[in-house]
Amino acid sequence: MFHTKSLIQMAMMATLLVVLGFIPALPLGFIPVPIVLQNLGVMMAGVILGGRKGSLSILLFFLVGLVIPVFSGLRSTIPVLTGPTAGYVIAWLFVPLLISYGVKLVNKKNFIAIFLIVWLAGVLFVDVAGAVWLASYTNIPLDKSLLQNLVFIPGDTIKAIIAAVVAVKYKDSFFLTEK
């Protein structure tokens, strides 16, 4: 079912996700929440591995999270999936699929188009999904939850820019998505 090389690609991407989660959050003065790099890894998974393998690498990350605390804040998979932030991490599973689908529709050299796709899939989709789950889980109004999630938009947008820069700058290197 899984070719050995694809397996290594997914394992390496899952490892990157784990390590990015270990890196301390970067406080930027004017942004209310510090930037965590882990969801940058999620966008990278879509950009580098494509849809299917990218999403599978995130699933692998969840599997690893069963046995060690790999989520930001040293949390493991089951508490996260049954807690208030489950919406975000479940949305992560679909980010590579959405990015892969979107990238097929545009010119890979067009930075603005690539950025919009990464932003829509990796930032807007994730934050809205997270807000919806957070609202239902804690019983706060949906509009309030969506407003609260605005604090994440600036940091996540910076990450989307980084992912889009990598995607455009190294587009010829991503032969990985073809295999």
Q: Which residues bind another protein (CB under 8 A)?
A: 1-5, 7-16, 18-19, 22-23, 26, 28-29, 37, 40, 44, 48, 60-61, 63-64, 66-69, 73-76, 78-79, 81-84, 138-140, 144, 148, 158, 161-162, 165-166, 170, 173, 176
Q: Which is nearer to another protein, 27 or 107 (CB)?
A: 27
Q: Which DSSP string corresponds to 125-170?
A: HHHHHHHHHHHHHHT--HHHHHHHGGGGHHHHHHHHHHHHHHHHHT
Distance in Å, CB of 124 to another protein, minimum: 20
Q: Which is nearer to another protein, 2 or 106 (CB)?
A: 2
Distance in Å, CB of 104 to another protein, minimum: 21
Of the candidates 127, 145, 140, 119, which has an alpha carbon nearest to the alpha carbon of residue 88? 127
Q: Which is nearer to another protein, 68 or 105 (CB)?
A: 68
Distance in Å, CB of 105 to another protein, minimum: 24
Q: Which is nearer to another protein, 78 or 112 (CB)?
A: 78
Distance in Å, CB of 15 to another protein, minimum: 4
Q: Which is nearer to another protein, 15 or 146 (CB)?
A: 15
Distance CA 39, CA 45 (A): 10
Distance CA 2, CA 33 (A): 39
Distance CA 133, CA 89 (A): 11
Distance in Å, CB of 110 to another protein, minimum: 20
Distance CA 139, CA 136 (A): 5
Of the candidates 50, 38, 37, which has an alpha carbon nearest to the alpha carbon of residue 10? 50
Residues found in the chain = 179
Q: Which is nearer to another protein, 76 or 105 (CB)?
A: 76
Distance in Å, CB of 135 to another protein, minimum: 10
115 in Cβ contact with 164 (< 8 Å): yes
